[in-house]
Structure 1
Amino acid sequence: MGLVFTLGESSLTGPRPRNEDYIGVVTPADAQLAIKGALLMVADGVSGAAGGAEAAEMTVRTVSADYYATPDTWTVQHALETVLQAANRWVLSQAQRRKQLAGMATTLSLLALRGQRYVLAHVGDTRIYRLRAQALERLTTDHVWDKPDLRHVLKRAVGLDAHLSVDYTEGLLQAGDIYAIMSDGVWDAISEADLHKALMLYNTPQLMAEHLTAAALENGGQDNASVLVVRIEETGQDHYTDMLADAESLPVPAKLQAGDRIDGFTVAKVIHDSRLSMLYQVRNDAGQLFVLKTLQPALASDKESCQALLNEEWLAKRVVSQCVPQILPLSKHQRSALYYVMTWHEGATLEQRLEAGHHFTINGIANIGQDLLRGLSMLHRLNIVHRDIKPGNIHMGSDKRLRILDLGVALNTTLVIPESMENPGTPCYMAPELFDGKLADRQADIYAAGVTLYHLLTRKYPYGEIEPFQSPRFGEPVRPSRYRPEIPAWLEGVILKAIARDPKNRFETAEEMLLALEHGELKPIHIPRTPLIARARLVKWQWLAIMSFLLNILLIYVLLVS
């Protein structure tokens, strides 16, 4: 069952010449509601400044439109922060461009409801209250000056400063919760006791909202009065939890052979048969080729393996790019077993090309590196860390397009990764810090990309081959020009910077490494030799102790000789 709630809203102009409050409500359809949630907002344009009403309306409209355009892999808070900063810049730009709108600004209080949780975003002096188990609680803090004569002067608002500082709160929803979002024209004219009584007295959110705005004006309120009330009827499931439930209801299919059929697909051949997964080339009734990925039948009762497969499908569905294979949007009702289907691309992985004896040229590696970094940059912008970049997971199609494969162990902040999957990957491509227990991040992907280019050029590894369960010691990497002297200095510099032992010495982002590859010899990167003291991984006091010991030995020798 999905999230169910009822709404009520009311906004009265009162004695002011116009209404500068603005209420925004977005309740998308079921699929989008599960992924992005519903948005409930109240904005109050700053009174006394031109353009207050415009700032309130456009901020709400901008947030409503832009939030649902953000990637599904972003957390709610990250998406809200991004769109609110953009809205703040827009309001500031309008105030600077049009003199009659100078000083335009607005407060904003927002609730995002999704599954079993809410995220609150707040700036200014609009307020959010919650009634739970007959107890009323204020969830926001007014951003006004503390002095009595300045209690209506805002310290924070959208359009007030170049950097917008927003309060965020996250919590669990409960059936029966009532949330009331209101402008200061309501809470300033009604006591919390009266607010509590109104929320307890009426049966529907609409009657609650209408009563509160009317009461605010009856009590002598001199400002616009706006209220948005929502009552939680039933909580839903988290969007990813819905997919995990499918793992328990859909069985892992038995091993398939050429000619077998499954849910409208005919198996053409087995592509890959590994310890964990099965990949089949399949054809639909229209004759189009696809790839079907599922688990080995022996893992049917392994919950973590099922979650990993669903994790891969969930992430891949949200990466709409030519840099990765695209996922067919099959619902649970369109398949009788646990699998997913993606587009088929003729070609081979870079590992397969190496095994076939392909010789990669310098220009070819530079082009592969640029395509790979474009793909990594796209994944990182979606908050996805691949964690297993290597030649075997990079596919070069017959259409000359490079595609990144296998998001099965990819990390995303919106998903819970099982402890057993904390640092998966292929040891030779894993960054040094991962062997010390640090969780993989974008820097680790950049390192793996550098090792990939190194291996494609030399068929060697910069720090030597690393076996599984080995605890390697990382010294100075062997320069790739040792194996291929024709490698230009600029390309060697890019690779050595990417595979630096210390993450601080690597490229900060995939975009930075991409620029270095694109500029090539026009802006070469100089990689200095690591000092001996750093290469030996000894700190200064250890070197002082060694030197002191040697000096004492020398003095003893001199005394004995003399």
Structure 2
Amino acid sequence: MPLTVSLGHASLTGPRARNEDFVGAVTPEAAELENKGLLAAIADGVGGHANGREAAEFALRSLLSDYYATPDTWSVRKSLEKVIVAANRWLFAQGAKRNETAGMATTLAAIVVRGRRWLCVHAGDSRIYLLRDGQLSRLTQDHVWEHPELDTVLSRAVGLDRHINLDFAEGELAEGDTFLLLTDGVWGSLSDARIRQIAEKHADAQEAAFALASSAVDSGSQDNSSALVLRIGTLPADSLRDTLARIRELPLPPPLKPGQTLDGLQIVEVLHESRVTLLYRVRSQDGQPFVLKTLREGSDLQDTAALAHEEWLARRVTDAAFPQVTDWPARSHLYYLMSWHDGETLAQRIARGHRFSLAELVELATRLLKALAALHRLTIIHRDVKPENIHLGSDGRLRLLDLGVAASDSGADERFNEINNPGTPSYMAPQLFEGGSCNESSDLYAAGITLYQAATRRFPHGEIEAFQRPRFGDPVPPTRFRPELPEWFESILLKAVARDAERRFETAEEFLLALQRGAHRPLSVPRRRPLLERDPQMGLKLLAAGSLLANLVLAILLFVR
């Protein structure tokens, strides 16, 4: 059952000559409602400042349009924050460069309802209330300073300062919840008891919104009076997404052998078996090939949720550098389908002895980094970049495989088991062995190790076994194994695989730029650090050994005498 919400709004000018409030909402359907939710907001242009109405309208229109343009993989909070911060920056800049718009600012209160949760954000003194089971509670705190000559002075508003701090709150939805978004013209004239009474009296959201605004005017409000009312009807199933809920109900397929069929798909071969997952190459009745990914028998609910989460992420990565998820209406078991591409993995090409030329290495690096850049723009961290997960297609495309351990700022309410090991030791950044978290930097480090291996067939810090606690020093220069590699390319590889994160590339775009500049504007070769900096304990050991040797020589000389 989908989420259903009824909306109503009203905005009355009152005794003022101009209405500086602005109210708006977006009510999407289907996938957009599932992924982004319903967004409603109210704004009140700051009184006494130029173009308060224009500031309110701009902030709200920007929020209502740009929020739905953010990636689905972003959390609701991150999407709201990014859009509002951008609007704040623009409004503040307008006031800074044009005298007639100095101080152009507005309050803002917004709420997103998605799935079975709500999240609100606000700056200023427009309020959000929740009416549940006859109890009215305020979800926001006013951002004001007390002033001896004025009623209140706003301490925060969109466009008021160069930087804006936003307040967030979130919680679970219940059927019948009523959210009230009110400007100070309404809540400043009506008591909480009166607000609750009016909201309870009018079952229709539109009637309730108009009654709140008109009652404020009748009560002597000297400001514009605006109200926006949301009433929650039905709620969707309790899940990360409806897709996750559906997938959890599907049974696991039995172990399959070549020649067998499942949902009209014929098994061609088993591609890969891990501790938890199985990959098959399959083909449809019309001969079209696919990759089918499922779980082994004995997998638990958390493994099922992890596979569903992987599919959810993969569907949102539409770049050509990744296999694409294929819908299969006949699906009756727990699995998902991806596009199949002829070719081989980078690991297979290295294993069969291919020696990459400099031009091939640069092309490989460029395509890999563009794939990672596309992934990172969606705030997805791959976490297992290695030659086995890089596919070199017969069509000339590079594709990055396997989002089985990928992490994303998806706003998920659940924690998932990892259906594969989170990374391969030889490609894991040093900070990960010290308890650090995966991020863009760790993906780029793994990309650097992969390129180093493609160039030399070796690892810059040596091969690392599972459960090993490695000690990292300076990487071995690749020219030790490939003397013909140019200095500028060596410098790029050494920077990519440096031990310290601050010495490495910060973004895929920075890494790409270094490759594009190449020999024309080369990076400086990282300085080899002194022994005491690289290994303080070894330096002390050598000092102690030298002291012991000197004492031994002195003792021998004394004994001879």
Fold match by TM threshold 0.5: yes
Residue 110 (structure 1) aligns with: 110
Show the 5 A alignment for 1:80-479.
80-92=80-92, 95=95, 101-237=101-237, 240-285=240-285, 287-296=287-296, 298-299=297-298, 301-330=299-328, 334-414=330-410, 415=412, 416-418=414-416, 424-479=422-477
User: How far did residue 269 of structure 1 move?
Assistant: 4.4
User: How far did residue 549 of structure 1 move?
Assistant: 9.8
User: How far did residue 336 of structure 1 move?
Assistant: 0.8
Could you give the per-residue CA deviations for residues 132-172 of structure 1, whole angstroms, max 9, x where no partner exists?
Answer: 34333222222222224344432322222232322222222
Native 8 Å contact 2:147 2:153 kept in 1 = no
Could you give the per-residue CA deviations for residues 101-140 of structure 1, whole angstroms, max 9, x where no partner exists?
Answer: 4543221100011122211110112111223343332222
Residue 526 (structure 1) aligns with: 525
User: How far did residue 38 of structure 1 move?
Assistant: 0.8
Query: After alignment, is 490-499 or 467-476 more displaced?
Result: 467-476
Native 8 Å contact 2:306 2:418 kept in 1 = no
Residue 54 (structure 1) aligns with: 54
1: CA distance between counterparts of 2:544 and 2:3? 71
Q: 1:525 is matched by which residue type in structure 2?
A: S
User: How far did residue 292 of structure 1 move?
Assistant: 2.3
Measured on the aligned residues, the alpha-carbon RMSD in Å equals: 2.9
2: CA distance between counterparts of 1:430 and 1:508? 16
Q: 1:374 is matched by which residue type in structure 2?
A: K
3-state SS of paired residue (2:228): strand
Show the 5 A alignment for 1:502-513.
502-513=500-511
3-state SS of paired residue (2:444): helix
Rate the CA distance shift 1:537–1:79 in 2: closer, same or farther, 3 A.
farther
Rate the CA distance shift 1:98–1:557 in 2: closer, same or farther, 3 A.
closer
User: How far did residue 554 of structure 1 move?
Assistant: 6.2
Native 8 Å contact 1:328 1:342 kept in 2 = yes
Native 8 Å contact 1:144 1:151 kept in 2 = no
User: How far did residue 535 of structure 1 move?
Assistant: 2.1
3-state SS of paired residue (1:448): helix
Could you give the per-residue CA deviations for residues 455-487 of structure 1, whole angstroms, max 9, x where no partner exists?
Answer: 111111112222222222323322211111111
3-state SS of paired residue (1:153): strand
1: CA distance between counterparts of 2:239 and 2:55? 33
Q: 2:488 is matched by which residue type in structure 1?
A: W
Rate the CA distance shift 1:244–1:475 in 2: closer, same or farther, 3 A.
same
Native 8 Å contact 1:259 1:267 kept in 2 = yes
3-state SS of paired residue (1:245): helix
1: CA distance between counterparts of 2:25 and 2:220? 28
Q: 1:482 is matched by which residue type in structure 2?
A: R
Rate the CA distance shift 1:164–1:339 in 2: closer, same or farther, 3 A.
same
Query: After alignment, is 311-320 or 278-287 more displaced?
Result: 278-287
Q: 1:433 is matched by which residue type in structure 2?
A: Q
2: CA distance between counterparts of 1:487 and 1:266? 47
Native 8 Å contact 1:144 1:150 kept in 2 = no
Q: 2:331 is matched by which residue type in structure 1?
A: R
Native 8 Å contact 2:274 2:420 kept in 1 = no
Q: 1:395 is matched by which residue type in structure 2?
A: H
Residue 482 (structure 2) aligns with: 484
Query: After alignment, is 461-470 or 551-560 more displaced?
Result: 551-560
User: How far did residue 88 of structure 1 move?
Assistant: 2.3
1: CA distance between counterparts of 2:420 and 2:135? 41
3-state SS of paired residue (1:445): helix
Rate the CA distance shift 1:347–1:558 in 2: closer, same or farther, 3 A.
closer
Could you give the per-residue CA deviations for residues 363-410 of structure 1, whole angstroms, max 9, x where no partner exists?
Answer: 211121121111112211211111110011011122222111000110
Q: 1:386 is matched by which residue type in structure 2?
A: H
Q: 1:14 is matched by which residue type in structure 2?
A: G
Gaps of 5+ in 2: none
Could you give the per-residue CA deviations for residues 412-456 of structure 1, whole angstroms, max 9, x where no partner exists?
Answer: 132444466696121211122222332322221111111101111
User: How far did residue 181 of structure 1 move?
Assistant: 0.6
Q: 1:452 is matched by which residue type in structure 2?
A: T
User: How far did residue 33 of structure 1 move?
Assistant: 1.7
3-state SS of paired residue (1:145): strand
1: CA distance between counterparts of 2:136 and 2:481? 72
1: CA distance between counterparts of 2:110 and 2:237? 21
Q: 1:524 is matched by which residue type in structure 2?
A: L
3-state SS of paired residue (1:142): coil
1: CA distance between counterparts of 2:547 and 2:103? 72
User: How far did residue 305 of structure 1 move?
Assistant: 2.9
2: CA distance between counterparts of 1:45 and 1:457? 60
Rate the CA distance shift 1:502–1:258 in 2: closer, same or farther, 3 A.
same
User: How far did residue 360 of structure 1 move?
Assistant: 0.9
Query: After alignment, is 414-423 or 334-343 more displaced?
Result: 414-423
Query: After alignment, is 41-50 or 238-247 more displaced?
Result: 238-247
Q: 2:277 is matched by which residue type in structure 1?
A: S
2: CA distance between counterparts of 1:277 and 1:177? 42
Show the 5 A alignment for 1:534-553.
534-538=533-537, 543=540
Show the 5 A alignment for 1:54-73.
54-73=54-73
Show the 5 A alignment for 1:31-46.
31-46=31-46
3-state SS of paired residue (2:32): helix
2: CA distance between counterparts of 1:93 and 1:446? 35
Q: 1:456 is matched by which residue type in structure 2?
A: A
Residue 494 (structure 1) aligns with: 492
Native 8 Å contact 2:307 2:419 kept in 1 = no
Could you give the per-residue CA deviations for residues 64-89 of structure 1, whole angstroms, max 9, x where no partner exists?
Answer: 11111111110111111111122223
Query: After alignment, is 403-412 or 100-109 more displaced?
Result: 100-109
2: CA distance between counterparts of 1:350 and 1:548? 47
Native 8 Å contact 1:386 1:411 kept in 2 = yes
- Equivalent pairs counted in the alignment come to 555
User: How far did residue 492 of structure 1 move?
Assistant: 1.4
3-state SS of paired residue (1:86): helix
2: CA distance between counterparts of 1:317 and 1:9? 36
1: CA distance between counterparts of 2:137 and 2:253? 51
Gaps of 5+ in 1: none
2: CA distance between counterparts of 1:190 and 1:507? 57
2: CA distance between counterparts of 1:57 and 1:538? 63
Native 8 Å contact 1:145 1:151 kept in 2 = no
Native 8 Å contact 1:35 1:239 kept in 2 = no
1: CA distance between counterparts of 2:456 and 2:546? 42
Rate the CA distance shift 1:136–1:549 in 2: closer, same or farther, 3 A.
farther
Native 8 Å contact 1:119 1:171 kept in 2 = yes
Native 8 Å contact 1:13 1:225 kept in 2 = yes
3-state SS of paired residue (2:130): strand
2: CA distance between counterparts of 1:403 and 1:178? 48
3-state SS of paired residue (1:9): strand
Identity %: 48
